[in-house]
């Protein structure tokens, strides 16, 4: 098969891509220089907000605004996006006292947002603008005018929003991360807004959801190796949990231990307490299954005891964790 290079295909795609990325990197460097007390004031205003952070923007700014609102909402700042065109025809009713409005317009002259300003002012809602500079109608009307800097678009025509949308996206992420730190937001908080999919399983599934807690293979430390083998066989977990007279866990005997003892021709009448593995690895039932899986992987073990005050609550198997889709 003969591949013919046409004039349209003679462009250097890699060079164009590198140039575009470097142009957008320059826009991010410029954005960093724009960060000052206005950014701090914006964060404080959002933290003091008793309502929601409402984000609006038209066109490409609107697409970035949707992502910004979604990031806020998933990191502890209640937020949603409202389309400025729809807002002018009734959806502005979603904006109430106590909210904060973030309006995005690179030029600062969006007609759709301009029509909303009088109502926003009448409701006495704090307005945070995001634009290229402070010259437009929007930043001049805002309580806090965040600026991106006069960056060059990666588009060679200087028309398609590229560098400016990247900078806006980064500024939104910067706000969300700064607020996340200020709120002391944790992975447990994050899990509550991400219950679905692999991420939800990783963050929400606890040891108690997967552990075996019925007919556990438990035997006293004074029992023989022979009796321990019977318990291990009936338990089908690949181990026996060894307890003392107070029913507190003192050790464990696994399939691996058994193979080594058989290779050494250990007498089956020996007390299991004399050959067990002492201080076995353990966890609690409230531990995240993903964290328990990490322990098992780090220690190269297939089971983890679940204890409460030294008493056995259950046994967690690595196979059950993996089968549940937790990783």
Count of beta carbons in the 10 Å neighbourhood of residue 234: 11
pLDDT band with cut points at 50, 70 and 90 for residue 195: low
Domain end (from 155, 185, 215): 185
Tell me the CATH number at 28: 3.40.50.10490
In a domain, 225, yes or no: yes
Whether 178 and 218 share a structural domain: no
The answer to whether residue 199 scores a pLDDT higher than 80 is no
Mean pLDDT of 297-317: 92
Count of beta carbons in the 10 Å neighbourhood of residue 68: 26
In a domain, 52, yes or no: yes
Residue 192: which of 101, 78, 27 has the closest Cα?
78
Least confident of 118-122, 136-140, 197-201, 310-314: 197-201
- Number of domains within the chain: 2
Whether 159 and 31 share a structural domain: yes
Whether 44 and 123 share a structural domain: yes
pLDDT band with cut points at 50, 70 and 90 for residue 192: low
Q: How many CA atoms lie within 13 A of 4 on its CB side?
A: 2
Q: pTM for the full model?
A: 0.68
Query: Over the chain, what is the mean pLDDT?
Result: 89
The 10s digit of each residue's pLDDT in 231-275 is 999 888 989 999 999 999 999 999 888 899 888 998 989 999 999
The 10s digit of each residue's pLDDT in 133-167 is 999 999 999 999 999 998 889 888 877 889 999 99
In a domain, 5, yes or no: no
Identify the pLDDT of residue 189.
65
The answer to whether residue 2 scores a pLDDT higher than 60 is no
User: What is residue 2's DSSP assignment?
Assistant: P
Identify the pLDDT of residue 10.
60
The 10s digit of each residue's pLDDT in 46-94 is 999 999 999 999 999 999 999 999 999 888 888 999 998 887 777 777 8
Whether 181 and 216 share a structural domain: no
In a domain, 198, yes or no: no
Give the domain extent around 104: 10-185
Element housing 76 (H / E): none
Whether 122 and 219 share a structural domain: no
In a domain, 199, yes or no: no
Identify the pLDDT of residue 3.
55
The answer to whether residue 211 scores a pLDDT higher than 90 is yes
High-pLDDT (> 90) share of the chain, %: 62
Question: Phi and psi dihedrals of 159, rounded to 5?
Answer: -115, -50
In a domain, 257, yes or no: yes
Tell me the CATH number at 219: 3.10.580.10
């Amino acid at each position: 098969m003969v591949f013919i290079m046409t004039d349209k295909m003679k462009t250097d795609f890699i060079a164009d891509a590198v140039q575009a990325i470097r142009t957008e990197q320059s826009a991010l460097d410029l954005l960093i220089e724009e960060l000052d007390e206005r950014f701090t004031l914006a964060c404080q205003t959002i933290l003091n907000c008793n309502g929601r952070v409402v984000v609006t923007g038209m066109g490409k700014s609107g697409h970035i605004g949707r992502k910004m609102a979604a990031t806020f909402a998933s990191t502890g700042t209640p937020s949603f996006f409202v389309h400025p065109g729809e807002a002018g025809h009734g959806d502005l009713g979603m904006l109430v006292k106590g909210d904060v409005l973030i309006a995005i317009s690179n030029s600062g002259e969006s007609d759709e947002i301009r029509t909303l300003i009088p109502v926003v002012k009448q409701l006495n809602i704090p307005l945070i603008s995001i634009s290229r500079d402070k010259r437009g109608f929007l930043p001049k009307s805002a309580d806090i005018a965040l600026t991106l800097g006069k960056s060059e678009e990666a588009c060679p025509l200087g028309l398609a929003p590229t560098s400016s949308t990247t900078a806006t996206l980064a500024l939104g992420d910067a706000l969300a991360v700064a607020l996340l730190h200020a709120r002391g937001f944790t992975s447990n908080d994050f899990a509550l807004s991400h219950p679905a999919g692999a991420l939800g399983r990783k963050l929400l599934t606890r040891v108690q959801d997967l552990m075996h807690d019925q007919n556990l293979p438990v035997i006293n430390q004074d029992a023989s190796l022979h009796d321990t083998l019977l318990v291990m066989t009936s338990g089908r977990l690949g181990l026996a949990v060894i307890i003392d007279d107070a029913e507190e866990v003192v050790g464990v005997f696994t399939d691996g231990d058994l193979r080594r003892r058989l290779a050494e021709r250990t007498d089956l009448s020996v007390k299991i307490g004399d050959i067990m593995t002492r201080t076995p690895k353990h966890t609690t039932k409230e531990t995240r299954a993903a964290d328990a899986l990490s322990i098992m992987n780090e220690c190269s073990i297939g089971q983890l005891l679940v204890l409460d005050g030294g008493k056995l609550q259950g046994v967690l198997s690595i196979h059950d964790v993996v089968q549940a889709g937790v990783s």
